[in-house]
Amino acid sequence: MTHASSPSARPLRVTRAQAPLSGSIRVPGDKSISHRALMFASLARGETHITGLLEGEDVLRTAAAMRALGAQVAQHAPGDWRVSGLGIGKLREPEDVLDMGNSGTAARLLSGILASHGMVSVMTGDASLRRRPMKRVMDPLAGTGATFMAREGGRLPMAIHGLADPRPLDYRLPVASAQVKSAVLLAGLNAQGQTRVEEPVATRDHTENMLRHFGAHVKVEETPQGGRVILLQGRPDLVARDVVVPGDPSSAAFPIVAALLVPGADITISTVGLNPLRTGLFITLQEMGAQLEVTNIRTEGGELVGDLHVRASSLKGVTVPADRAPSMIDEYPILAVAAAHASGVSRFCGVEELRVKESDRLAATVALLENNGVKTAVEGDDLVVYGTSNAIPGGGVVQTHMDHRLAMSASVLGLVAQNPVEIDDTAFIDTSFPGYLQLMNSLGAGFAL
């Protein structure tokens, strides 16, 4: 699968790091929490003050969408935003199409809100998002009584005819997905009675945490099979509450792995989110032998945060169980780079969800490694990476398929490869990690901007 580069493409040639990475940084705010903070603040009565908001393109699309739906959403300083919400069920019909850019999270979560308001709306996105399936949220949300019209396969653009008095849902997710779970819960906010969602494996629970933070009644029960049942009482009185957004652990993954692989590196990353359902990568890297220390653990805005101290380490291959996948689904491309540099064989089990991310991320991750001399195999839903014992050949061209995480993963691989790595486009990195290349250069990466 290849795509022509966009007219504004920013290719990058990455050469091996000439010096150890060092210094202290803070990564941008958590993307998942930033999206949800804007949405819940718009559904709450009163003014919410949000600090640390991620100001990447994806989140700015959510801000624009909530503004188009009638909430007052304004930036007061970098990372400092104020939102005056309208209350549950009070959003207004947008005058134009809602363009969600590259953000699948924004599109899927917003579907739950739009389905449960008495309005007609249309959502679209960029070329990448228009290829991604929305049927996984359309199917459960249709149970509210809302109607959807979309392109073949449930792809954007999509028209939604929502209901002012939607039915509450009782839905069991066929596969673990925090986005689908959240869409159902958001639809349940404006439904009379109780909404019930059952997930086969526990996924990131930022939506549940934020619902409680704004005053909703949410109950979570563990199932004997290791999943969870979430119960939400409909039509709560959500009241404005300030939100502090921690650093995004998915963004922290890239400087972390870079520091583990570049000889002599020693860095600190402050105020990173440590939600237990998001830290699968940190656990996996420690199993591989990473010198990754978590300090100054504390709670901010209902979320656990801490500081990370990372030093260059000799890593060994690891088997990652399938039940860990939901806690690190976005981190597999950069973990694959770590596994490629390690000694021994790594197996990532049950990574089928990667096929429906910004790109077919599984195929693209395989291509990223194979094009740079690293042997891999896909066996069913498992990805196998054969480590090179600190000797990644490099010298390849990486097709990013408009996927920010692939571009960042390729940049880290280039820092330790024996030959320069060519990346076809880095423009999309700003969707989730604005200033990534500059921040890495502040540690000594030496990216040629």
pTM of the model: 0.84
Confidence label for 3 from pLDDT (cuts 50, 70 and 90): very low
Query: Region 188-197: what's the mean pLDDT?
Result: 98
Q: Summarize pLDDT for 333-352 with one digit per residue, the tens.
A: 999 999 999 999 999 999 88
DSSP β-bridge partners for residue 196? 170, 231
What percent of the chain lies above the pLDDT cut of 90?
86
Q: What is the pLDDT of residue 432?
A: 80
Please tell me the predicted confidence (pLDDT) of residue 302.
Answer: 74
Q: Residue 327: which pLDDT band, with cuts at 50, 70 and 90?
A: confident
Question: pLDDT tens for residues 85-125?
Answer: 999 999 999 999 999 999 999 999 999 999 999 999 999 99
Q: pLDDT tens across 387-397, in order?
A: 999 999 999 99
Domain boundaries, the chain: 12-29+246-443, 31-244
Q: How many CB atoms lie within 10 A of CB 430?
A: 18
| Residue 67, pLDDT above cutoff 70 | yes
* Residue-wise pLDDT tens digits, 370-384: 999 999 999 999 999
Average pLDDT over residues 248-262: 97
Residue list, annotated binding site: 31-32, 36, 104, 132, 177, 179, 330, 357, 361, 405
12-29+246-443 and 31-244: identical CATH topology:
yes
Nearest one of 243, 270, 267 to 255, comparing CA atoms:
267
Provide the pLDDT confidence category of residue 359 given band limits of 50, 70 and 90.
Answer: low
d(CA 399, CA 6): 12
Distance from C-alpha of 329 to C-alpha of 351, rounded to nearest angstrom: 8
Mean pLDDT over each residue of the chain, to the nearest integer: 94
Predicted confidence (pLDDT) at residue 191 exceeds the cutoff of 80:
yes
The per-residue pLDDT for 1 is: 32
For 118-141, letters b (16+ CB in 10 Å) and e give ebebbbebbebbbbbbbebbbebb
Residues forming the annotated binding site for phosphoenolpyruvate? 31, 104, 132, 179, 361, 405
Catalytically annotated residues: 330
Percent of the chain with pLDDT over 70: 97
Structure confidence at residue 277 (pLDDT) = 87
Under CATH, which number does the domain 12-29+246-443 receive?
A: 3.65.10.10
Summarize pLDDT for 125-180 with one digit per residue, the tens: 999 899 988 999 999 999 999 999 999 989 999 999 999 999 999 999 998 899 99
Q: What is the pLDDT of residue 356?
A: 63
Is the pLDDT at 2 greater than 50, yes or no? no
Q: Tell me the pLDDT tens digit for each residue of 297-310.
A: 998 767 899 999 99
* Residues of the binding site for 3-phosphoshikimate: 31-32, 36, 177, 179, 330, 357
Of 144, 39, 34, give the one whose Cα is nearest residue 88: 39
Q: Which CATH architecture has domain 31-244?
A: Alpha-beta prism (3.65)
Q: What is the pLDDT of residue 5?
A: 45
C-alpha distances in Å from residue 264, one per residue of 17, 22, 285, 388, 444: 11, 9, 17, 19, 12
Query: What band does 4 get if pLDDT is binned at 50, 70 and 90?
Result: very low
